């Protein structure tokens, strides 16, 4: 594998709101924002660490995004919590150039949180300009 940037992605609170107006809570309402942000970044790969990995197959979860197997590498281990599963996934993969974590659940991470964490407001997720700007800067 050639060097790549890895984006660990949560669904709830990132790709759609966990509370608020029905239009924001519509499943994957902000997925087009993610697709626009990552367009043209051939060195970016996505790994899912969403809690949906506890109840759905990796194939099903990855197919929901519609990004293809060349972009989506898989899911973190369902037997581990979010942060431990991300740490586990990065071990033994020296081709990882850098990584970021998009999540809305601060309690899933140690305090202080890892510097790679981009914490979203669960009501605004990827619709937040601040989150988009952080991702753009990392991808540049």
Spans of all domains in the chain: 4-139
What pLDDT does residue 69 have? 82
> Residue 137: helix, strand or coil by DSSP?
helix
Q: What is the pLDDT of residue 2?
A: 87
DSSP H helical segments within the chain, as ranges?
Answer: 22-25, 31-38, 58-65, 82-90, 129-139
Residue 27, pLDDT > 90, answer no
Sorted by sequence, the CB contacts under 8 Å of residue 80 that are 6+ apart come out as: 88
| pLDDT for residue 11 | 95
Mean pLDDT of 37-58: 94
Shortest CA distance to 126 belongs to which of 107, 100, 108? Answer: 100
Structure tokens at 80: 């581990």
Candidates 100, 116, 118; CA nearest to 47 is 100
CATH number 3.40.50 is the correct assignment for the domain at 4-139 = yes
CB 105 within 8 A of CB 13: yes
pLDDT at 75: 94
Confidence of residue 34 (pLDDT cuts 50, 70, 90): very high
Stretch (H or E) spanning 71 = none
The average pLDDT across 108-125 equals 96
How high is the pLDDT of residue 78? 94
Q: Cα–Cα distance between 41 and 80 in angstroms, integer? A: 29
Whether 109 shows a pLDDT value over 90: the answer reads yes
Q: What is the mean pLDDT of the segment spanning 83-96?
A: 96
Place 122 in a pLDDT band, splitting at 50, 70 and 90.
Answer: very high
pLDDT of residue 89: 97
Q: Residue 1: pLDDT above 80?
A: no
């Amino acid at each position: 594998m050639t060097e790549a940037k890895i984006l660990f992605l949560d669904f709830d609170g990132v790709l759609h709101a966990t509370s608020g107006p029905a239009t924001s809570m519509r499943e994957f309402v902000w997925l087009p924002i993610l697709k626009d942000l990552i367009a043209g970044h051939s060195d970016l790969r996505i790994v899912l660490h969403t809690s949906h990995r506890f109840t759905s197959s990796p194939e099903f979860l990855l197919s929901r995004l519609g990004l293809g197997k060349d972009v989506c590498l898989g899911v973190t281990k369902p037997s581990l919590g979010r942060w431990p599963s991300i740490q586990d996934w990065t071990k033994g993969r020296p081709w990882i150039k850098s990584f970021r974590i998009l999540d809305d659940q601060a309690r899933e991470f140690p305090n202080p949180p890892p510097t790679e964490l981009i914490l979203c407001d669960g009501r605004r997720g990827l619709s937040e300009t601040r989150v988009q700007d952080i991702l753009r800067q990392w991808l540049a």
